[in-house]
Chain A
Amino acid sequence: MSKDIKIKKGLNIRLNGEAGKTLSKAPRSRTFVIRPSEFHLITPKLVVKEGAKLKAGDVIFYSKAEEKIKFVSPVSGIVQKIERGAKRVITEIVIEADQKDDYLDHGVASIVSMDENEIKNHLLATGCWPFIKQRPYDIIANPDIKPKAIFVSAFSTAPLAADFDFTLMGKEKELQAAVSAVSKLTDGALNVGVGKNSKSIFEGLKDISVHTVTGIHPAGNVGTLINKLDPVNKGEVVWTISPQDLVVIGELLLTGKFNAERIVALSGSSVKNPKYYTTKIGSEVSTILYTSGLNEEHVRIIDGNVLSGNKITPKGHLGYYTNTVTVIPEGDDYEFFGWNKPVFNKLSVTRALTFSWLQPKKKYDLNTNTNGEHRAFVVTGSFEKVFPLDILPMQILKACKYEDLDEMEALGMYEVAPEDFALTEFICVSKQPHQDIIRKGLDLMYKEIG
């Protein structure tokens, strides 16, 4: 049962520095890093010590709360350092990589004959489970609760995000293996959203329901897909997986090896030669930055896209879920009378002496300046124009701020993830941190309701 989804409310943020459709192999990174903070609400329990020798696919740590969920090394090498922060929380696990990867072999899985439990246990044992996330709460899926459906969005609309049609090219076999296996984990459908005007690799695959999506960002967010197809009600759980992570799962099922390889888009107006790279989870970001070159010194390097990625340093590493690295100029400078003079070089959804409405197709060089200070919520009615879900954005944000659990639940907190509020955060004239407010709200609900 395929559906046509049209998204009219939203905003396409057009930026300069789109990654060109050429693929290079990134130089092999010397060190690889796993940051446990990327696995939200997971407390890591280490199984290796500094100096331990690892194969690619060896377990590094597991979740303290759910021992079945294991996290594995993307490469073979030696555990060089375990960095700890305040209260001895593990912040980074640094692995010094071998020249060539030596893989732990899990054996080829016979997907057709395996049942639900066998597949689940296989994914848990091989370290593929962290790729599966759940809603409510936008955290790694609880393996003991069967989801009503699984959602994959293969349509990228976020600014400068990697194009899945390009990064998934030639991965039919892996994707087919992954979706055939994963679809057994739910009684419902494995829903895949693809761009209507693109030739998505998913259209030829079995065991899935393909839905075509058209429209502006956040049309490509998986949260939008869920809300339009089968929204999460109280007591229900859905899972979400990224297409590039399905490739890793598929390869593991087909070959028995945890191959952390993925194609990453390096984009942004500060990049001299924005393009795609084949690299691995946890690689040093400098490997691709130096290859492409930067236009300027003072930049913000973002692991992810400009709306919901994480800031990293030039010495930092790619994240576990990342398929985009964006580099844009920092904006820590003053602008004389910047608040009232006409604005031509910045994006705006109003026409308050901002003239971006004159050139809807123009691409911008936006920097990290907040363009104003943090204020209380004042303006109403603007968020709704960029928010396609059937949820009242301002009201749910306020409910999160005053921590009213009943109201948060009633207003649809089970359906949302921080990423769904990226556009409202972008246009907010009061410069409120919407994604952070939603994250804290979800954490509070998880703690109180579970």
Chain B
Amino acid sequence: MGLKNNLHQLKEKYKGTKMAPAFNALHTFLYLPNETTQGGTHIKAADDLKRTMNTVIMALLPCLIYGMFNAGYQHYLALGDIEAAKGFFGSTFWTWDNLVIGMWKVLPLVIISYGVGLAVEFLFAVIKGHEVEEGYLVTGMLVPLIVPIDIPLWMLTVAVIFGVVIGKEVFGGTGMNILNPALTIRAFLFFAYPTWMSGDKVWVHGAVERDQLIAAGENLDAISGETILGAYAQNNAVVYDYWDMFWGLIPGSVGETSKFLIIIGALFLIFTKIGSWRIIVSTLIGALVMGLIFNGVVDAGWIGETNKFYGLMNVPFWQHLIIGSILFGAVYMATDPVTASQTNKGKWIYGFLIGFISIMIRVFNPAYPEGVFLAILLMNVFAPTIDHYVVQGNVKRRMKRLKIKTN
């Protein structure tokens, strides 16, 4: 094993120098280190943080691949070049042409996300002298999946730098951050460049470009890339059926359209015991409850058809789960263990409120009909508060025990 020995000697050479963390990050990527236990338990379980993060990435990969095909599919569909695919295995969906467009558009997003984000991580690791932690492996995969397909790469670069520095490194790196870094990046994009993050033009590749051409005087048809939520929010007719929504044959952010694959990812995360089923389930319950309340309001006749909220309020409560990105948020974003509640009871409350508030924002926010990322960021901030009260419950039990004794 020449490589193993050479790398080992290099590691010894760099030991104690500023570059050690950067070298170790690459080295441990190839080899599980030769570290042994010192004091404490003499044996350790097989899992480390890399394996944990890798499991989440595996759960995300189907969404990424699907997102690539869907990018091409939506593009050609909007141009009128292909027929709508009927179902998940529709003949016009899994085509080479679709994949080429998807790879052409999505891979740069992935490369920018990982390249820029990891560069910032390495920089901080070298400056601060700590090891490069694995948290960004998941963040870097999430970012391309939650942005519109045509987002300019320089915007993404700026947002990633902002998100990693302000969302994570200023707090001390992985494990210390309050806000989910991937969502911090998305929030930055949303508030800094709103025209690129909402509306009915950004979700299908080519739509913005086509608009610009039309504005320049060319005689072309505009591409409509309205999302389902957009349609509901404007009280427009929705052109997709439930199966389209479930399989994911709809416009949207790159990786969040296929509910089918997200559910498979969720089952994988729960089965591997990496994702918190408590958070996933409670988020969905919260969303359903809010949806039911809105349905009740409509049924009671308090909101008329002319009301601007009517479209979204009248959406059957269960349908909220297959439109927008609530499912993606619940499975991959809300479950981030660092920014979520850390106690088991807290996780139920935290998840429920995310679902509840997501649907509330979705219905009431006229500018931008998706509230999942805002709801999760909000609950990220409140997670320590929720935990505080759960912990106090444990403390009170202990105090009570003492009181019974002394009385």
Contact residues of B between 361 and 400, Cβ < 8 Å to A: 387, 391, 394-395, 397-399
Which A residues lie within 8 Å of B344 (CB)? 381, 384
B273 closest partner in A (C-beta)? A350
Which A residues lie within 8 Å of B395 (CB)? 410-411
Task: Please tell me if B174 contacts chain A, counting CB pairs below 8 Å.
Answer: yes
The answer to whether A334 and B33 touch (CB under 8 A), given A379-B337, A380-B340, is yes
Give chain B nearest CB distance to A52 CB in angstroms: 33
A310 closest partner in B (C-beta)? B39
Task: Please tell me if B215 contacts chain A, counting CB pairs below 8 Å.
Answer: no
B34 lies within 8 A of A334 (CB): yes
B34 lies within 8 A of A340 (CB): no
A412 closest partner in B (C-beta)? B398
Give Cα A436–Cα B395 distance, bound, in whole angstroms: 23
The interface bits of chain B over 309-347 (1 if a CB of A lies within 8 angstroms of the residue's CB, else 0) are: 000000000000000000000000000011010111001
Task: Please tell me if A286 contacts chain B, counting CB pairs below 8 Å.
Answer: no
B397 lies within 8 A of A390 (CB): yes
Of B40-48, B206-214, B254-262, B292-300, the one contacting chain A is B40-48
B34 lies within 8 A of A332 (CB): yes
A368 lies within 8 A of B43 (CB): yes
Which B residues lie within 8 Å of A333 (CB)? 34
The interface bits of chain A over 288-305 (1 if a CB of B lies within 8 angstroms of the residue's CB, else 0) are: 000000000000101000
B30 lies within 8 A of A337 (CB): yes
Task: Please tell me if A449 contacts chain B, counting CB pairs below 8 Å.
Answer: no
The answer to whether A369 and B273 touch (CB under 8 A), given A352-B55, A426-B44, A429-B51, is no
A429 lies within 8 A of B52 (CB): yes
Give Cα A309–Cα B38 distance, bound, in whole angstroms: 11
Contact residues of B between 11 and 48, Cβ < 8 Å to A: 24, 28-48
Of B32, B39, B133, B337, which is in contact with the most chain A CB atoms at under 10 Å from its CB? B32
A353 lies within 8 A of B32 (CB): no
Give Cα A235–Cα B402 distance, bound, in whole angstroms: 9
Which A residues lie within 8 Å of B128 (CB)? none
Of B131, B274, B394, B398, which is in contact with the most chain A CB atoms at under 10 Å from its CB? B398
The answer to whether A343 and B54 touch (CB under 8 A), given A352-B274, A372-B32, A373-B33, is no
A334 lies within 8 A of B4 (CB): yes
Which A residues lie within 8 Å of B342 (CB)? 380-381, 394-395
Which A residues lie within 8 Å of B50 (CB)? 339-340, 372
Contact residues of B between 25 and 84, Cβ < 8 Å to A: 28-52, 54-55
B55 lies within 8 A of A336 (CB): no
Which B residues lie within 8 Å of A308 (CB)? 40-41
Give Cα A330–Cα B37 distance, bound, in whole angstroms: 9
Give chain A nearest CB distance to B162 CB in angstroms: 22
Give chain B nearest CB distance to A158 CB in angstroms: 11
The answer to whether A378 and B28 touch (CB under 8 A), given A231-B401, A307-B41, A373-B48, is no
Of A302, A334, A370, A433, which is in contact with the most chain B CB atoms at under 10 Å from its CB? A334
The interface bits of chain B over 189-209 (1 if a CB of A lies within 8 angstroms of the residue's CB, else 0) are: 000000000000000000000
Give Cα A346–Cα B51 distance, bound, in whole angstroms: 14
The answer to whether A392 and B337 touch (CB under 8 A), given A373-B28, A436-B39, is no
Please list the 8 inter-chain residue pairs (A to B) with the smallest Cβ-Cβ separation, ordered nearest first. Answer: A372-B48, A338-B32, A376-B175, A346-B46, A334-B31, A339-B50, A335-B32, A352-B55
Residues of B in contact with A (beta carbons under 8 Å apart): 4, 7-8, 24, 28-52, 54-55, 131, 133-135, 172-176, 271-274, 276, 278, 337-338, 340, 342-344, 347, 387, 391, 394-395, 397-399, 401-402, 405
Residues of A in contact with B (beta carbons under 8 Å apart): 13, 15, 159, 231, 233-236, 300, 302, 306-311, 326, 328, 330-340, 343, 346-354, 356, 366-382, 384, 390-392, 394-395, 410-412, 422, 425-431, 433-436
Identify 7 residue pairs between A and B in the complex whose beta-carbon atoms are under 8 Å apart, listed by A's number: A338-B32, A369-B35, A372-B51, A379-B52, A381-B342, A411-B394, A425-B41
